[in-house]
Structures are given as structure tokens and as C-alpha cells.
């Protein structure tokens, strides 16, 4: 079977986007394509049909391939819970929480898991497109590596290395990687790509020739700044927009462990909405119509963070002015009267008073909930999404549910005056009816359709752009695809 691994000279060089675009490109050629990332680190996760969770980027890449996402596409997922520790998810299920040093010492144990998942994908598809993590030139992390060259050599998958010219020093990044890599690792690299070029591409012809001459790697092309990527969910980094001046302002406090913030992408695409991510050290805007408390990987820690920033005071003032508040997942838990983590599942064990805006309490206990969900908001609008959370929420506030699933089970809670609401469902704004209903409560009109249509169109646009920018036949030959 054919496979190709896209590695990068660093994080955020565009690996996820390029793999997504190539997935759609080869799928459009009639091939059975699957994405794969041995190890991902992200608090943006997706629920798979086989009952697990994987990185959101691999779910997007599966969409690009027009196949359902499975846990094999991202067998090791690290979800940071603190500055030094992360929850480790193996094939979709929580395996424990590890400090960084402990994980580095043990990561090699999961190589067989990674190789098994890859083998299943390879056996069922014509082409597997693999995404690396960070940079293979981080030689201090090479021992026991399962994310880059450790995987590539074990699975015998050829590599193409990506350099980000928008950052500058791209010649040094690529040539430097060649210089520091072990000779056997460097031999796995068969070509290079340049990403995020702005301007006349002919101006960098000499630079590309120098990289090829110094490394011996094939020049596989150079991508321009890909405007279509702006319409895709971001994997790890929020994109901060300038204020639009739209009449409806929605403010989102940027929590320290914010998770699944692609929930908000459909709102950002609405012309009548000014979506404002509020960074630490900045007060929530007093003219906001709605404050959204987003998901978080660590509810207690981010509740303390929110209070440390004074955002609890801002939210209380917002509510007194008649403003609306919506909590999603961990944000829903914060809106209640109390959050308890008696076993320390998301950090140090403890309990904290919530914001007290909904009559509910949450205990973080039991198995993690991982499931797709669909149904209707209380007003009747259709929604589709997924749940991915720890914790069980109880209390009299649940007698006024925010939504009801197709199975008839109510979910979430709404305050008596209808201004405060929360639920565990991610993806609430994706479906046009639900988004239109929620915006109508703010006096705004929705002008978009289902967000998935926008994303799917962006993937096609990416594929078209990469077809023009890259030497696709050379990439196919490196992957082992037969003409």
C-alpha cells in the first residue's frame, strides 16, 4: 500500500492544513484515502463513530477523505491539563494523566499501538497520508519517538518536510534540519515543500534551488498563502480578528485550558456577529450582547483562572444589565452552584463554588462521556453535535432543559428568565436552524447555512490550490502510488 508522511520544521507550519488538502485532492482522484497522526497534542478533540476521541484535525482530514473518523487515525492523543501534565488518550480512551517527563520516558511503549493502527488503515485504503508533530529536528526528543522519525522508520514511510516561509529563515530551517538529523533519519526524507508564500513565487526560485542543492531532497513545490484555510477549524491556535463593528457582539473569555473552540467558528462567519475573544488581562466588553463560556480541559483550574482575571465580576455586571450567558461543556459546569473533582481527574482534587447562575451542581466522576448527539433546542430548532466530557450534573435547574435529544432525553439547563443557559453539546452552532434560533434571541439574523457546507467547500478549494502549487505526481511517486 502507499503512504506519505508530511513532517514540518516546527509547529504551526501548516502540516494539518496541507494534509487535509492533499486528502481531498487524492480522494477527488477516486482513491480510498485515510489520514493518520501517530501522536497529537491538542485539547480540540472529536468523537468518532467507534466510541472514542481523536484530535480535531484528524476528524477534519477524515472529512476531506470523505470517510468516517476512527480512533486508528490518531491512536495517541495528549490533552494538556497543566503546564507540565497531560491526559493521555490511547485509541480513543483515557489511559491516565502523566507529567511531561514521565510521558517522555514511557512514550515508546505505545509504538506498537501506533503501528497496529497504521497497519489497519494501510490495509483498507489505497493511500494513507500521515502528519508529523512538531519537528523531527528536535533531536533531544528523538529517543523513543513515535511522532516523527521514530514512526517513519518503524513503518518505513517516506517523508516530505515542510518549511514555513512566512516565518522567515526557511532555508536555514530546512538545511538546518538536514544538518542535525541522524543520517538514517535524514535518509527517510525524500523531498521538501514550502508553505505560506506571499508575492511572486519566482522570487524564491533561487532559494528553492539552494535548499535542494544543500540537502539533496527533491523540490516538491511551494504553496501560496491559502485563503481557504481561514474557513477551516483551527487545530490549536486561535485566530484573533479585528472588531468588525457588527451590531451583535459576542464575547468569549480566553480560558487557559480552552478546548474545542472551533464550536465558535460558525458565529465568526456570520456578518451580523462581532465575535470577540477576550485575552487575559482584558475586561469583558461592557457592550456584549452574549458572553459564551467555552469548553475547557480543566474546569476547576479555569474557574479559578476566570476569577483571577476578574471575569466573574464582569459576568455578574453583564447579567445585571440584562445580558445573556451561554456555557458549553466546562463552561456549563462553571455556571452552576458548585463544581467538585473529588478524585483529581482533571488536576488536584478539590471543590469550588461556581458562578451560581444556574441551579445545578457538577461532580467530576465516572467514565468520560463520548457520543454524537442530535435533537432540538427547547424552541424547536434542530441541532447536531457531540458530547465529550467528564462529570455528572444534577440540580433543580435541569427541570428547565436547554435541549432535548432525539432519544427524548433532556439536556442542559436554562434560567427562569431565559437569559442564562448551558449544555454539554459541542457543535451547537453548526446547523443553520439552531444557529439562527440562538442569534434571533439576540436580535440578529443568521445569513449562513450549515457550517459543514462551508468547510467542505474550503477543502475543495484547498485541493485545487495544492494541485496548482505542488508537484503532485512527484508526491504520488514518493508515496508509492502507481501511475
Q: Which of 9, 329, 389, 451 is labelled catalytic?
A: 329
Q: Which residues contact 261 (CB under 8 A, 6 or more apart)?
A: 44, 234, 238, 252, 294, 295
| Contact of 301 with 364, CB cutoff 8 Å | no
CA–CA dist 317, 321 (Å, integer): 6
User: Phi-psi bin for 112: left (phi > 0), alpha (psi -120 to 50), beta?
Assistant: alpha
End-to-end Cα spacing for the chain: 14
**Annotated catalytic residue 426:** yes
Q: Which of 178, 318, 389, 426 is labelled catalytic?
A: 426
- Cell numbers at 146, concatenated: 513515535
In the three-class reduction of DSSP (H, G, I as helix; E, B as strand; rest coil), residue 93 is classed as strand
Query: What does DSSP say about strands 258-259 and 295-296: parallel, antiparallel, or unpaired?
Result: antiparallel
- Cell numbers at 426, concatenated: 459541542
CA–CA dist 422, 399 (Å, integer): 13
Q: Which residues pair with 293 in a beta bridge?
A: 327
- CB under 8 Å, gap of 24 or more: what pairs does 476-482 form? 476/2, 476/26, 478/4, 478/158, 478/160, 478/190, 478/191, 478/218, 478/220, 479/2, 479/3, 479/4, 479/127, 479/158, 480/1, 480/2, 480/3, 480/158, 481/2, 481/31, 481/126, 481/127
CA–CA dist 425, 438 (Å, integer): 14
Count how many Cα atoms sit within 13 Å of the Cα of residue 393 in the half-sphere of its side chain. 30
Give the strands of the sheet with 361-363, arranged side by side: 350-353, 338-341, 361-363, 392-394
Helices (H), 107-163: 111-124, 149-155
**Annotated catalytic residue 178:** no
Active site residues: 329, 426
Amino acid at each position: 500500500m502507499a503512504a506519505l508522511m508530511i513532517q514540518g520544521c516546527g509547529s504551526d507550519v501548516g502540516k494539518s492544513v496541507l494534509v487535509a488538502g492533499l486528502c481531498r485532492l487524492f480522494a477527488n482522484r477516486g482513491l480510498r484515502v485515510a489520514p493518520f497522526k501517530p501522536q497529537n497534542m491538542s485539547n480540540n478533540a472529536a468523537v468518532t463513530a467507534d466510541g472514542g476521541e481523536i484530535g480535531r484535525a484528524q476528524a477534519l482530514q477524515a472529512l476531506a477523505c470523505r470517510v468516517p473518523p476512527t480512533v486508528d487515525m490518531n491512536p495517541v492523543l495528549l490533552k494538556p491539563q497543566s503546564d507540565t501534565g497531560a491526559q493521555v488518550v490511547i485509541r480513543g480512551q483515557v489511559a491516565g494523566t502523566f507529567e511531561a517527563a514521565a510521558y517522555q520516558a514511557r512514550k515508546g511503549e505505545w509504538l506498537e499501538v501506533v503501528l497496529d493502527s497504521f497497519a489497519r488503515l494501510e490495509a483498507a485504503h489505497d493511500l494513507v497520508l500521515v502528519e508529523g508533530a512538531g519537528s523531527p529536528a528536535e533531536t533531544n526528543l528523538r529517543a523513543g519517538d513515535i511522532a516523527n522519525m521514530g514512526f517513519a522508520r518503524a513503518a518505513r514511510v517516506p517523508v516530505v518536510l515542510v518549511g514555513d516561509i512566512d516565518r522567515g529563515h526557511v532555508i536555514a530551517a530546512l538545511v538546518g534540519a538536514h544538518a542535525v538529523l541522524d543520517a538514517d533519519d535524514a535518509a527517510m526524507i525524500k523531498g521538501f515543500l514550502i508553505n505560506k508564500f506571499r508575492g511572486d513565487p519566482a522570487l524564491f526560485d533561487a532559494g528553492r534551488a539552494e535548499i535542494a542543492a544543500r540537502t539533496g531532497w527533491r523540490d516538491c513545490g511551494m504553496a501560496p498563502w491559502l485563503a481557504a484555510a481561514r474557513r477551516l477549524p483551527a487545530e490549536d491556535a486561535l485566530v484573533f480578528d479585528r472588531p468588525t463593528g457588527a451590531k451583535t457582539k459576542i464575547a468569549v473569555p480566553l480560558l487557559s485550558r480552552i478546548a474545542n473552540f472551533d464550536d465558535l467558528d460558525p458565529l465568526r462567519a456570520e456578518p451580523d456577529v462581532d465575535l470577540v475573544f477576550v485575552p487575559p488581562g482584558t475586561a469583558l466588553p461592557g457592550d456584549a450582547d452574549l458572553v459564551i463560556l467555552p469548553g475547557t480541559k480543566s474546569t476547576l483550574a479555569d474557574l479559578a483562572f476566570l476569577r483571577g482575571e476578574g471575569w466573574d465580576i464582569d459576568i455578574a455586571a453583564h447579567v445585571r444589565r440584562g445580558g445573556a450567558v451561554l456555557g458549553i461543556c466546562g463552561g456549563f459546569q462553571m455556571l452552576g452552584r458548585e463544581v467538585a473533582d473529588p478524585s483529581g481527574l482533571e488536576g488536584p482534587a478539590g471543590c469550588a463554588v461556581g458562578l451560581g447562575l444556574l441551579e445545578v451542581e457538577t461532580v467530576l466522576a465516572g467514565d468520560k462521556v463520548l457520543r454524537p448527539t442530535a435533537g432540538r433546542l427547547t424552541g424547536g430548532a434542530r441541532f447536531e453535535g457531540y458530547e465529550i466530557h467528564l462529570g455528572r450534573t444534577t440540580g433543580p435547574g435541569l427541570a428547565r432543559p436547554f435541549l432535548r435529544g432525539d432519544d427524548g432525553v433532556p439536556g442542559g439547563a436554562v434560567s427562569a428568565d431565559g437569559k442564562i443557559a448551558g449544555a454539554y453539546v459541542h457543535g451547537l452552532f453548526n446547523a443553520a436552524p439552531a444557529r439562527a434560533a440562538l442569534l434571533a434571541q439576540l436580535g440578529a439574523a443568521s445569513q449562513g447555512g450549515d457550517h459543514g457546507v462551508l468547510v467542505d467547500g474550503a477543502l475543495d478549494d484547498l485541493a485545487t490550490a495544492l494541485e496548482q502549487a505542488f508537484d503532485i505526481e512527484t508526491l504520488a511517486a514518493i508515496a508509492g502510488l502507481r501511475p
